[in-house]
Amino acid sequence: MDMLIETTSVKHETKKTKKRKSTNETSQLGQSLKMLLSRKCGRKAFHDFLKSEFCEENLDFCLTCEEFKTISPEMLSRRAASIYEEFIRTGSPKEINLDFHTRECLAQNLQKPSQLCFTVAQNQIYSLMENDAFPRFIQSDFYKDLRHSASKPADLGKHRNAFRAKNKEGLIGMQTNQTNSTMTCIPETKSDKTDNMEVKRHKTTSSDDRSTFYRHFLLPQISTSQDTD
């Protein structure tokens, strides 16, 4: 009994620890933009916030620059030109706010691109988000929703386990019904009745044949044998 109580206590402590850990991790996301962007849920929440302010291209550009640093050397020229057309060129679909000097440097770097050719522009846009957009994000409903979602995984797990248990019970019930249906007596069909009647008639005929054989063949022989004696 003491062991059961101790085990139950450990389980409760484990749940509390997991919930506390999840809450602490979510709280840490608000400490810096770097921490926020290190988590997928943080990136999504911040991107949604920037989209509400019509400046999500800043985050898209920074994330694209990070991806650019990992591509193979033979793909650098083509990918660099694509990024320039998407974010840097005047009038581009996702044009970011860069000063004239930075644009000139980028134009020169594209002549012989490297994995770090967008670093200056990336740092400039990152600093803009860190000092301007991030403080507003912390005060927004987007961040409040992000912190509130920390308590949802545990509840979601409970609902998922309950759903699985319910489905398991349903499958067991279906198997039981199928077994009972298989064991149920099958009603006799017309052809089955005919076959049974033929078997009975055959048995009756065989019995009559044995009686006839006894009367006409064996009985006279027995009588003759007795007369001879």
pLDDT in tens, 47-95: 999 999 999 999 999 999 999 999 999 999 999 999 999 999 989 999 9
Q: Which of 7-21, 24-38, 113-127, 137-151 has the lowest mean pLDDT?
A: 7-21
pLDDT of res. 109: 87
pLDDT of res. 185: 44
Could you tell me the pTM of the whole model? 0.59
How many whole angstroms separate alpha carbon 80 and alpha carbon 69? 10
Q: Where is pLDDT greater, at 128 or 206? A: 128
Percentage of the chain exceeding pLDDT 70 = 53
pLDDT of res. 173: 57
Q: How far from 142 is each of 44, 145, 219, CA to CA, in Å? A: 10, 5, 112
Query: Is residue 88 within 8 Å of 121, Cβ to Cβ?
Result: yes
Amino acid at 181: S
pLDDT value at 146 more than 80? yes
Range among 47-56, 185-194, 215-224 rated most confident: 47-56
pLDDT value at 41 more than 90? yes
Domains of the chain: 26-152 (1.10.167.10)
